[in-house]
Amino acid sequence: MKLFTIEEANRLLPSVRGILLRLSAAHNVISAMRGDAKLAASGAEQGGGGMAGGTGYVRALTTLSRKSQELDHLGVQIKDYERGLIDFPTMRDGRVVLLCWQLGENEELTWWHDVDAGFAGRQPL
């Protein structure tokens, strides 16, 4: 697991924001088409198949996968695709905690929480 300083995480935020925007958009496409995809899968099992907009659905799945891998490669943890919620592991008082940020928040990190506290346990930096 990569550990970030607050400064490192803040420097990475502009790049991460771009990745999250693409991730969130792909997630929205997938969510909107989920019902059609289930119907198409059911039809395919019975020898039919096909899905209106199937190419866009597959493209969104591919984008979601690639962008998730990009975040993983950077050491950033994605917590919620729809909200663009991410965590940066860091050390605080000799223990690993998470710097928390989501799309639409400040240009810099302002929150952290314990690993098992989650979003509800966020505290100001």
Q: pLDDT band at 33, cuts 50/70/90?
A: confident
**What pLDDT score does 34 carry?**
75
β-bridge pairing 95-102 and 85-92: antiparallel
Q: How many CB atoms lie within 10 A of CB 106?
A: 10
Contact 93, 114 (CB under 8 A): no
Residue 48 has pLDDT above 70, yes or no: no
What are the tokens at 52?
């209106």
Q: Note the pTM of the prediction, 2 decimals.
A: 0.85
Token digits of residue 57: 């659905």
Structure tokens at 89: 């592991």
Locate tokens 């958009």: which residue? 25
Over residues 96-115, mean pLDDT: 96
